[in-house]
Amino acid sequence: MNQTQMIKGILEGCVLQILNNHLCYSQEIVELLRKRGFVNISEGTLFPMLLRLDKEGLFETEHVPSSLGPKRKYYVLNEKGKEELNQFISEWNNLKIIVDNIFDKEVSGNG
């Protein structure tokens, strides 16, 4: 399995966390993800996810004029989005415990 396959589901949770109480447009989200280590992320990767999550009703959006061209669409989590983020965090923590437990036991030879 390559890194891209593993990251696909995790990326959504990371985007939700970035948009938790933080109004951003898509290029800002990409830049924040890159700064935090997702160096191969592009707007082309992010945009379909944002469209899907927006259709699911997880965001409040705002179109803001830009001096560089057309209006930019800014996203921030609404209450439904925050619930989705909390669910992701819970599932991530549970999965992390399971995976760490397996790797810790296998490395120490106590499997």
Query: pLDDT tens, position by position, for the chain (111 residues)?
Result: 566 667 778 999 999 999 998 999 999 999 999 999 999 888 898 999 999 999 999 999 999 998 888 899 999 999 999 999 999 999 999 999 999 999 987 666 665
Residues written for the chain? 111
Give the model's pLDDT for residue 105: 77
Give the model's pLDDT for residue 1: 58
d(CA 76, CA 78): 7
Which domains, ranges and CATH numbers included, belong to the chain?
Answer: 3-108 (1.10.10.10)
d(CA 15, CA 66): 23
Residue type, 107: V
**Single pTM value for the model:** 0.85
Task: List the structure tokens of 54.
Answer: 């927006």
Give the model's pLDDT for residue 107: 67
Give the model's pLDDT for residue 109: 66
d(CA 102, CA 3): 19
